[in-house]
Structure formats: structure tokens, C-alpha cells
Amino acid sequence: MSAAAEPLEARVARLERELAGVHRRLARLEAEPPTTAQEAEPPAPAAGAAGELAQDGLRGLPALLGRTCLVLGGAFLFRSLTDSGTLSAGVGVALGLAYALVWLALADRASARGRALGGALHALASALIVYPLLFEASTRYALLAPWAAAAALALATAAGLAVAWRRSFHAVAWITLISALLVTTALLFRTRAPLPFVLALLLLAAASLALAYGRGWRGQRWLVALAVDAVVLLLGLLRVLGRAPAEWLGTGPVLVAQVGLVAIYLGAFVLRLLLQGREITGFAVTQTVLALAVGFEGALWIGDDAARRALAVAALAAGVLLHVGLARRSERRFGHGFAVGYFASVATFLAAEGTRVLLPAALYAPLWLLAAVALAALSLDGRRPILQVHAALLTLAGAIASGLAVAALAALASRDLAAWPPLPPAALVVLALALAAAALLYRSATRSGASAAAVAARLATLVVALLGLGGVVARFAAGALAEAPGADARAGTVAAVRSAVLALAAVALAAGAAGLGRAELARAAFAVLVVGGAKLVVEDLRVEGATHLVFSLALYGGALVAVPALVRRARPPAADEPPPARS
């Protein structure tokens, strides 16, 4: 070894001895002699109480709990001095709030030093001081007006969430949000001034979404969303049932809560998809349904005519915007995935509800069917089954709203012609459009791998159209032919007409199966034959006279022969068969 290297070796040895001495002194101070170099290093900040317990064990927990008890004891000391008159209410409340903020700052400091359990207990102590204190300052001491109390709650919550965000401290977020939810809801009903606390709850909803999207903390958004949904639903029920005096729970605050619920959640989901390109989650779907049911439908229920019209116009505009803009943009970004279905569903619902409120049934029912025809035309490429589902739903809703469904079912089921409801003119328009929608859906791309949703949508649309057509034909035919004297003669004519309608429907479905290669049409044809056979037993054989029975049996027998023959000619389309050419 060279002489030049010897001094360097001596210095390294001296540094090692000094470091060993430092380690021994730290071990004596902390009562934890380190066994390895890793144990002597300061721990990284833990994400929660479990992290600190894993690092330090349970030996430090009694001391932390004792410190928390002392903290709470100091808070009760301020309250005792205030109750005894030693301190005025204003001074006592101010000292209590300052005391709570000190412990929140210490929670932030403890988290920065990696003491997660200590920081969580400090934050819990701060919340147990500040939120009950704000409640009592607003109720018992009457120091804060409702708007001031809501503002103070918002500031305290913002401070707690700022610590949680800054230190990625999940436990502090839970403590803050739960405390704020409880006290805000209590003050909403206790102060009889709901509007400021409704706004505070909506801010909590927005904050929980920000934490979920910014920090990935997804549990709080469920808690806050369900709590806000429950409060808004309760406010709406109290208003509708008249269980709350109008002087403290008017229509205005309830409408603000309902509309704000829809705007925050639906707006957040839309912006998240557009700006961040994220897929729609189960939470988004669930909360969209709840927000639309509790918020939008609740607002339509309790609002006056002007409020209902304003909401309907906004819903119609939002539905058109989602259909025209958002669905196309999400389609370009995600393909034909779940996001397209989500936005198309929301858009269809909003547009349908908007037209329902703004227009009479004689106008909005045909509009729904026009929309169904448009959606069916857009789905001709076979790549968007969700549009076919919406076309089927709109067809069914339009048939019910226009009176077509009721009139058709009466003509196909009721024996008393005089009891048949009138057929509105709009029902005939709806019937024509329903037939057009069904024809377009069955012109869509024929693929062997068609989804079950698309098959069900096509079949449902066709069933609605055929029921409507059969009911209208039976209605006019029975009215023209049932003029013979005697109730039995009229009943026999009606029965024969219905048998003819069912037989022709079965043959038409079988012909469609043969021409288009749709297996569901063949199954539907046999189902109609089963219904026709049951009808012969239940109705035709029980009506006096044999003339009508001759026609019924002849038609049903012909259908029994023709349907299997036509179905045997049907062939399933090849997987690579191109879609039918568009005219």
C-alpha cells in the first residue's frame, strides 16, 4: 500500500467511527437501536395510519391517543370558560377555531415528517373541534348567520382538503369530508335556511370529484354522491308532500339542489371524457342515473310551468348537443365503445323528456318516432347496436304515448267493440313511422355475430309495429264486417278477423326469415302460431256459430303449413356477407 493512500484510509476509518457514534446516540434517544442501515434511515412519509403502525409498532399509539385527549381537553376548556361567562361567546368561538387550525397545521407537519398516524389523529382532533364549534356558533350561540356559517364550513373544509391534497394524505380527506357532510346536513335542517347549505353540499360533491380525478381517491366520491343524492331526494319529497313549511323550504332552494346535482355530475363526466379522454366508469353510470332521477325528474315534478319549460329547453339542447357533438367525438376517440352508448343514452333521455314537457302527446309522440327512424338509419352499418336499442325504446314509448298501443291491444283482445278506445290521428302517423323504423333496422348489416342487444332491439321494434298494424287492421275490418244482427254474430266476426291477423302475421314473419336470414323472425313466427292456437281454443271455439270457425280454422291451418315451409328456406347469412345495398 502506498504512503499516499494511508492518510485517506485513516480518514475513512475515522468517519466510520463517528457515524457509528451518531447511530448509537440516535438509538438511545429513540429507544430503538437500529440493526441495519435501512432501519437507521428516516422513514418515508406513510400513506395512512397503517403505514406508521407498520414502521413504529403500537408502542407509540398510547402516547398519541393521550395527546389527542389533551387536545380535546383544551377545546373543552375554552367551551367551559365561554359557558361560565369568563369569555364572551365571540372570543371563545374565535379561540376555539384558532386552536383547531393550529392542530390542523400540526397534522400537516406530522405528515411531512412521515408520521402518518400522528398526523391523522391531529387532523381528527381538529375536525372534532372545528365542525361542532361551527354548529354551535350557528345554533346555540347564534353568532353566525346561515350564509356566514356555510362560508365558514367551506373554508374549514377547504383547509382540511388542502392538507390532504398537499401531502397525499388520504385519511385527512376522509375525516374532513365525513365531518363536513354531517355538520352541513345538520345545519341545513336546523337553521331553516337551506339554500347556503345546499350550495355547500354541492361544493362538497365537486371537491370529492376533484380528489377522485386528481388523486385517485375513489371511495369518497361514492360516499359524498350518495349522501348528496339522499339529501336532495329528501328535500324534494318534503316539498312535494308538504311536510315542511313553505317559509323555510321553498321551491327555489330545492330546484337549486336538484339542478346543481345534475350539472355537477353530468358536467364532470362529460368534461372528463372530452378533456382527459377517459372511459366512462361504473360510478359515472350509476351517478348519472341517480342524478337524472333525483335531480332532473324531481325538478320537473316540483317546478312551476316556467321552470319546467326552462328545464325542458335545456334538456332538449343538451340532448341534441350530446348526440351531434359528443357522441361523434367520443366515437372518433374510443371507436364504438361504451362511451358512445353512455352519451347516446343520456342524450336520448334528455331529448325525449324535453319534447315531452314542451309539446302535447299528439306532437311529441310522432317526433319520438321520427328520431327512432333517424337512429335506425344511422345504424345501417351495423356497428352501433346502441342506436338500434334507442330506436326500439323510442318506438315503444311513442306507441304508448300516442294511444296506438292501447287501441291496438283493445282491438286484438277485447270482444266489446263499443268499449274500444278511439284511435287518435297521431297513432296512424306513429304506426307508419314504426313500420319504417322496423324496415330500416332489418336493412342494417347482416352479420352472424350480431349482438344480443341489436337482435332484441330489432325484434322489439318489429313487434310494436306489427301489433300496431294488426290492431288497426282488426279494428277497421271488424268495424266494417260486424254489422250483422246479434251479439254472437258480431263476436264471431271479430274472432275471425283476429285469427286472420295472427295467421297473416305469422306468414309475414316466416317470409321475412326466409328472405333476410334472420333466425329471430323464424322464432317469432312460431311464437305467433302458438298464440293463434291458444286463441282458437280460448275465443273461437267458445263463440256460438260455425261460420266464423270455418274461416279461423282454414286460415290457421294454412299458416301452419306455410310457416314451416318458409322457415326451411331461410339460410343464415355468412359472416363475411356484405350488408344489403342502400337504395
Tens-place pLDDT, residues 189-198: 998 889 999 9
Residue 59: pLDDT over 70: no
Integer Cα distance of 13 and 26 in angstroms: 20
pLDDT category, 35, cuts 50, 70, 90? very low
Q: Which of 306-320, 336-350, 414-428, 529-543 holds the top average pLDDT?
A: 306-320
**Residue 446, pLDDT score:** 52
Alpha-carbon radius of gyration of the chain: 36
Predicted TM-score (pTM) of the model is 0.74
In terms of average pLDDT, the best of 246-255, 283-292, 516-525 is: 283-292
Q: Flag whether pLDDT at 1 surpasses 70.
A: no
So what's the pLDDT on residue 27? 55
Separation of alpha carbons 300 and 358, rounded Å: 12
Q: In the chain, what percentage of residues exceed pLDDT 70?
A: 76
Q: Which residue has the cell 348567520?
A: 145
Q: What pLDDT shows up at residue 270?
A: 79
Report the length, in residues, of the chain: 583
Q: Residues 420-436: what's their mean pLDDT?
A: 89
Question: CA 550 to CA 491: how far, in whole Å?
Answer: 14
Query: Of residues 332 and 535, which shows the higher confidence score?
Result: 535
CA dihedral (57, 58, 59, 63) positive or negative: positive
Q: What span, in angstroms and rounded, lies between the C-alpha atoms of 134 and 127?
A: 11
pLDDT over 50 at 539, yes or no: yes
- 3-state secondary structure string across 459-476: HHHHHHHHHHHHHHHHHH
The whole-angstrom separation of Cα 386 and Cα 334 is 15
CB-based burial label for 222 (10 Å; 0-12, 13-18, 19+) = middle
Amino acid at 468: G
- Write down the pLDDT at residue 413: 80
Question: Residue 134: what pLDDT?
Answer: 92
Q: How far apart are CA 100 and CA 90, in angstroms?
A: 15
Which pLDDT belongs to residue 118? 78
Listed in sequence order, the residues at least 6 apart from 182 whose beta carbon sits closer than 8 Å to its beta carbon are 131
Contact predicate 172/120, CB 8 Å: yes
Q: 338-358 and 305-321 helices cross at what angle (nearest 10)?
A: 150
- The per-residue pLDDT for 5 is 47
The pLDDT of residue 486: 46
Q: Does the structure show a pLDDT above 50 at 481?
A: yes
**Closest to 528 measured CA to CA, from 562, 568, 572:** 562
pLDDT digits (tens, 9 = 90+) for 321-377: 887 765 556 555 555 467 777 777 888 899 999 999 999 988 999 999 999 998 888
Q: What is the per-residue pLDDT for 315?
A: 93
| The predicted structure's pLDDT at residue 198 | 95
Q: Specify the higher pLDDT residue, 319 or 19.
A: 319
**Going by C-beta distance under 8 Å and a sequence separation of 6 or more, which residues neighbour residue 166?**
108
Region 202-220 average pLDDT: 92
Query: Which grid coordinates belong to 573?
Result: 347469412
**Distance from C-alpha of 513 to C-alpha of 419, rounded to nearest angstrom:** 36
pLDDT on residue 517: 72
Place of cell 357533438: 325
